[in-house]
Structure 1
Amino acid sequence: MLIRNVRPWGTAAADVRVLDGRIAELLPHDPAAQAPLESSPDPMTSPGEDRIDGRGRLLLPAFSDVHVHLDSTRIGLPFRPHTGGPGVWTMVMNDRANWRDAEVPLPERVAGTLERMIAHGTTRVRSYAQVDADCGLERFEAVIAAKERFAGHADVQVIAFPQAGLLREPGSVEVLDAALSAGADVVGGIDPCQLDRDPARHLDLVFGLAEKHQVEVDIHLHEPGELGVFSTELVMERTRALGMQGKVTMSHAYSLGSVSDATSRRLIDGFAELDIALATVAPAAAGQLSLVDLAESGVRVGLGEDGQRDYWSPYGNCDLLDRTWQLAFTRGFRRDELIEHCLAIATIGGASIMGDGSPRLTGVADRPGLAVGDRADLVLVDGETPTSAVMDRGADRTVLHDGRVVAEGLRLIG
């Protein structure tokens, strides 16, 4: 495939050749070689090679959503009043009381949401699938079905997630184990102190299952201040003891910067040493660890949309470019370099968490993912600059997965 007249990360116009799903060549764009006569062979195109007219659009790595709950989505359904209450357990019970009664079956809701995410430019997805004493594997199986249905359009990893904890309800550990045996890619945990109130036992179960099934770990952490720091230190201890460097992600963790500067520095250094990644959903919360400090320390950070207009929240629209705007806005970023860093987090930052061999961000000015040899998971989007694309969030998008066009103009192809 030849992608003509695009601006990688907003730089000068280029022509990009893709071969076997990877970027094979980047050349300065030659306007004189454009639009050959139908009867004349294109001097820049090999026989049988497809062409995309970039029309001067930006070329970016495709988006990577590394924190989404596909199994609780209400995307495409009528808006409903928010009925959730305060606290994680109250929200879990609200979801439990309503998710089966939605207007269309769960598999259809999950597939429709994933389809819309891909159409907007997300080709890497790490989704939670709730498993508990109430739903068993029903929600997990709906996410697995969507993963298989769109296997040619996106890479999907599934997190078997005990949203209701592991110790409050009999059978929780067994159903989590069953989901991992059925093919989950990651084992989840949640608020070891506040929800299960036995952090050592909770984390021993999670890491024990990770060791048994040889999968990665993702810990939901909503806990505040010192409590969140304590749970994080327990996660770090187990990561080190089990040699799981590079295989653990802390999700949310939005209070870890609220205790003291010294504690924040110690946690960031620990994450860097153990290669523990962070996944954020861009909350408007004070006390978060600095994205700049995390980047300069080499800590992997990814972005996700969390719930998609579900029983937890009315937010979410399947567009990670929109959530990139939210990340920049909630962090108070105005400089182009920092807003573009949010775009790098939403693309290659998440890809590095999913472990597909993508390059890692080395600092706030790093713009990887579009070099020769990089995977051709790409999105073309209208915009004068990467920052303007974040501000305007245009609809003129072309999405490629493994070097093949999978969406055009916010609609799936194939």
Structure 2
Amino acid sequence: MTTAEQRAIAARLKAERERRGWGQRKMARFLRDAVDDPQKPELPSFVTYVKRWESGKVPVTDSRYRTAYAAVFGMDENELFAPDRSAPPSLWRAPALDGELGPDEEERLILAARRPVRADPVVVESLATILAAQRRTEDMIGSAALIEPVRAQLATIQELVIEARGPIRPEVVNVAAQWAQFAGWLHIATGDLESAREWLNRATDWSIEVGDLALTDSITSWKGYLAEHAGHLGPMIGMAQAAQRHRSGPGRAYDLHMEARGHALVGDRAAADRALNAACEAVAAARPADARQWEYYYFAPGFWNLERGVALRYMGRNDPARTQQAIEQLATGHAALPADMRGSEWGGVYLCHQAAAHLEAGDAESAVAVASDALAVAHATSSESLIGRVRRLHRRLADDWPGRSDVAELGEALAAGT
């Protein structure tokens, strides 16, 4: 079985579970109950198995568990575990579309790819719908798995940009800029900062062509986020400020939070406070109408608590009260997120910030517990970058508390890939 086939089966198992509204622990309990073996492992082991199987890194090879899966889902075992039970998927068929893209729209996209001059408003709207779906797909499977599909989609979109002319061209170029921006985000999330910079620069060029100042500022904001990842704090602050020029609503609120983080990182607490206070006002004024279709996460319950929590964590250096506020905001925000976002790669990043805040507050037990949750998300989304964050947390924990058994257990879980 190829790696791609193994991942396809893993995605199928996860999709069937989520379609029924079950969490991984409930799935594990159902599987254990379905296994007819008096020597079967205890429930915690099954929870670990489900996480491994859904990550795509470990196949379900034991016939007992394959049979149990089929019984729990009420499906044929051969069909459930078939390496390729259908024709190759469409380039435009994102897992999170849920019927939003009909066969007629998909056919228009295929025809437009063959003859780019056929691009029309329906094609543009379909591309916008698919982009939003890809963002939701990333929440489910992580950023790394989407790099190649999005590259393939952008190859076609670039042909549309080259060939588009007349009244439809601005619409094509605008949606292409948003796709390039998403590609930039995916590469930031996977740690490929050079590729991220290339895609964000291309997105900027396209947004400038169509004169969409709000989109240009949105891309500038992501360049600030790229600078943050690169450790370039001056450009991070500058880009965050520049991005606010033509942005309103949730985008401006995000930029102000990023500006606050930057000021806090360079030690300018007064500027950080000013930016954070302005961010609160922007959040209060934000409306869904001000967001693009794929910016739905701005209005997820808890999102702004998380953003505020990260800023407070950076402001909390040598300030225990701020650190405690950060912990409260991060914990409250993560708990309030919808289940799919809590288990997303970016949701795991906020868990790492919460674990770091616990560590900085001297609470090793809570730091290890939250870091372990982040590690589970990392494995479920096959996120090497998130695993790297947990590794760095573990090194700090091991330096500060070398004799703790829970710290040692976290290290063992990292080493074992569980």
| Greater relative CO (CA pairs within 8 A, separation 6+) | 1
Looking at secondary structure, tell me which structure has more helix per residue: 2
Q: What TM-score comes out, normalization by structure 1 length?
A: 0.34
The higher radius of gyration belongs to: 2
Q: What TM-score comes out, normalization by structure 2 length?
A: 0.33
